[in-house]
Amino acid sequence: MQEKIWLSSPHMGGAERDFVTEAFDTNWVAPLGPNVNGFEKDLETYQGQDVKVAALSSGTAAIHLALIQAGVTAGDEVICQSFTFCGSSNPILYLGATPILVDSERDTWNMCPDSLKSAIEDRIDKGKKPKAIIAVHLYGMPYKVDEIHAFAKAYSIPVIEDSAEALGSSYNGRKCGTFGDFGILSFNGNKIITTSGGGAMVCHSIEDKQKTVYLATQARDEAPHYQHSEVGYNYRMSNISAGIGRGQMQVLDKHVHLRRAMNQFYQELFAAIDGVEVLVEKSADYYSNHWLSAILVDPAVTGGITREDLRLALEAENIESRPLWKPMHLQPLYSKYPYYGGTVCEELFEKGLCLPSGSNLTNADRERIASVITKVFS
């Protein structure tokens, strides 16, 4: 069996080890320390817009704290893109709030502005204005920022911008993660850069950042002893993880470039194959990091070949691929919650496949991938 080709695996640049070694040498192995501050500074500079960043233990933790800071409590309603990973939506359930799930549109595969508007208006008619909106830049593709934020603003509802998959993406030249009242990043092992596990909250004021750090460190009151007036969490990033993050920041733009080259590779490969669509930017306003390259396979056009046929053919050659995210409203855990929209994200799930997209794939890897794909569709 040939070596496994992964969908998206960690890709170290080299300097990570130096930052981690330095943490050992100076005995900053405890949580917090200079790497955490350094990593936050690097992210603030990268994101621009004068943002303030708090490094956390995961992207999911960041969404949890963003909901708390948006004022969400038990019984509230929170709108969330249905087509996403459960890390976007589970924190709504942690708080005892109710998820209101919304369909996608076909251009970016992200939250449909029309369905969002229907959801907001119907929930208000039913007696409750949603407390927050969680919109997601899935696979690195920016959502329709102008439309989504215009509706959120018109109804004065804060937006939590799930940019877990979109570090390095931008919309109209402005980095994803900086548009929302709170922005979320993830450095999980399969993301565009990794700290082996971690996340961050992107804030627009020092007060919001301080509040995030306070909640992420067990909500300690100011006192020489340990005193607590509200519930906190143990959600801060460690100094070791942040050391990996500092090294990864040095190669982030290179990773974006390489992932975009993988997308280009798939565009060229599928140009000659009818019935397969590669997710690409629909206008120059959008710039995707192409964290994962994703395709739709239409069996009505391919002569009956489905995305599952392709997935199994790749698997037989030890090449990992994966169906697109299964929409939350189709998940057993979420099926009882309200859903607004049509069948766009259901169709994406039925026909969609994510292909190997790592920044560390070689020419030999690409040749293996291309030969399986060409064979399946020949």
Catalytic residue among 191, 209, 211, 351: 191
Between strands 132-136 and 170-171, the pairing is unpaired
Q: Is 8 helix (H, G, I), strand (E, B) or coil?
A: coil
- Which residues have a Cβ under 8 Å from the Cβ of 155 and sit 6 or more positions away? 120, 124, 129
Closest-CB residue for ligand PLP?
Answer: 59
Closer residue to ligand PLP, CB minimum distance, 83 or 265: 83
Closer residue to ligand PLP, CB minimum distance, 56 or 305: 56
Query: What is the nearest approach in angstroms of ligand PLP to the Cβ of residue 215?
Result: 16
102 and 128 in contact (C-beta within 8 Å)? Answer: no
- Measured CA distances, 107 to 117, 143, 237, 283, 356 (Å): 18, 9, 35, 10, 22
Token pair for residue 224? Answer: 């020489």
Closer residue to ligand PLP, CB minimum distance, 85 or 286: 85
Q: In the complex, which residues of this chain contact ligand PLP (CB under 6 A)? A: 58-60, 84-85, 87-88, 136, 162, 164-165, 186, 188, 199
Question: Rounded distance, CA 39 to CA 256, Å?
Answer: 18
Question: Rounded distance, CA 363 to CA 374, Å?
Answer: 16
Query: What is the nearest approach in angstroms of ligand PLP to the Cβ of residue 347?
Result: 19
What is the 8-class DSSP label of residue 5? Answer: B
Query: What is the nearest approach in angstroms of ligand PLP to the Cβ of residue 60?
Result: 3
Closer residue to ligand PLP, CB minimum distance, 136 or 202: 136
Query: What is the nearest approach in angstroms of ligand PLP to the Cβ of residue 61?
Result: 7
Question: Rounded distance, CA 146 to CA 142, Å?
Answer: 11
Buried b (16+ CB within 10 A) or exposed e, 295-322: bbbeeeebeebebeebbebbeeeebbbe
Query: What is the nearest approach in angstroms of ligand PLP to the Cβ of residue 57?
Result: 8
The kind and range of the H/E element at 269 are helix 252-271
Residue 191: active-site member = yes
Closer residue to ligand PLP, CB minimum distance, 51 or 55: 55
**Tokens 């930052």 — which residue?**
19
Active site residues: 191
